Amino acid sequence: MAVSGAVIWRVSRTPAGIATLAIRETHPGVIRGAAWGPGREWALAQLPALCGADDEPGDFDASRHPLVADAHHRNPGLRLSRTDLVFDALASAVFEQKVTGMQAFGAWRRVVTWCGERAPGPTPAPMFAPPTIDGWQRVPSWVWHRAGLEPPQSKTVVRAARRGDAIVRAVLAADDGEAVDRVLVSQPGIGPWTSAETRIRALGDADAVSVDDYHLAHEVGYALTGHRTDDDGMLRLLAAWPGQRQRVIRLIGASGVREPRRGARLHPEDHRDR
């Protein structure tokens, strides 16, 4: 993804082929899009869901906590988006396992640039679509290493790609988030965190919670109680909003409340130096 002025550029490998999508808000609440490539019609048809049009808050009750109520009041248009691209969401989540966001994004950019496909259209800079599911299986071992992705993560992506089409079909056929979770965590190297992140990104799951995250439980606990908590404590706090826990997490993020940072800044380890 890239931003050029008021335009957001996004490249995807859709079920119909690669698509470059340019998105711009022309008036408050009015989004216009243009697309290029063989997947352009799919991308434009999916654009409302990408912008959160399919998200339905339902009977969400923000009043159960003053911070959530205030964030909801100040962000009435907050919606959960979905990409409907299951394998890309899964692969990108695996890249983020046990590393910082900076490391994961850097590794993703390198692999996609080296092994993906150049995006069509007048992009503001060269952009690339991720490999196909088959293409993920054929990424050379030296590319993973040069990109900075550690062997457990690269092996997980390759193993998942071997069953990628079946995984995508099973996820899209599942009835609810729990069924999707069962499909995903049955794959080697994929645990609750990766499953939740995949559900959030690909399906806009309003109830998914990324347990085992390095920061999330601390942030939720601090926002709702003024003190850190662990995963169990976070789940107890979020139980007040069944079916809407991811929405509450997004509102906490939008509130601007952050736990003061006191520890030393983490120095990312680069396994390429070993």
Written as tens digits, the pLDDT of the chain (274 aa) is: 899 999 999 999 999 999 999 999 998 889 999 999 999 999 999 999 999 999 988 889 999 999 999 999 999 989 999 999 999 999 999 999 989 989 999 999 999 999 999 999 999 999 999 999 999 999 999 999 999 999 999 999 999 999 999 999 999 999 999 999 999 999 999 999 999 999 999 999 999 999 999 899 999 999 999 999 999 999 999 999 999 999 999 999 999 999 887 665 655 666 555 5
CA–CA distance, 166 with 163 (Å, rounded to integer): 5
Q: Which residues of 191-217 are buried (b: 16+ CB within 10 A; e: fewer)?
A: ebbbbbbbbbbbbbbbbbbbbebeebb
Give the residue among 118, 186, 103 at the shortest CA–CA distance from 149.
Answer: 103
Would you call 178 helix, strand, or coil by DSSP? helix
**Per-residue pLDDT at 269:** 62
Assigned token pair, 259: 């736990």
Asked if 229 contacts 219 with a C-beta cutoff of 8 angstroms, the reply is no
Around Cβ 60, how many Cβ atoms within 10 Å? 17
Would you call 97 helix, strand, or coil by DSSP? coil
CA–CA distance, 99 with 106 (Å, rounded to integer): 11
**Per-residue pLDDT at 271:** 57
Neighbour-count burial of 143, counting CB atoms closer than 10 A to its CB (0-12 exposed, 13-18 middle, 19+ buried):
middle
**Per-residue pLDDT at 1:** 87
**Per-residue pLDDT at 27:** 87
**Per-residue pLDDT at 244:** 97
**Rounded (5°) CA angle 29-30-34:** 140
CA–CA distance, 190 with 77 (Å, rounded to integer): 33
Assigned token pair, 208: 């998914």
Beta bridge partners of 2: 9
**Per-residue pLDDT at 165:** 97
Q: Where does residue 157 fall: left (phi above 0), alpha (psi -120 to 50 degrees), or beta otherwise?
A: alpha
Asked if 220 contacts 229 with a C-beta cutoff of 8 angstroms, the reply is yes
pTM metric for this prediction: 0.92
Around Cβ 98, how many Cβ atoms within 10 Å? 12
**Per-residue pLDDT at 265:** 60
Q: How far apart, in Å, do the first and last CA atoms of the chain sit?
A: 31
The residue whose two tokens read 């150049």 is 118
Half-sphere exposure of 168 (CA within 13 A, CB side): 16
Report which residue type is found at 183: V
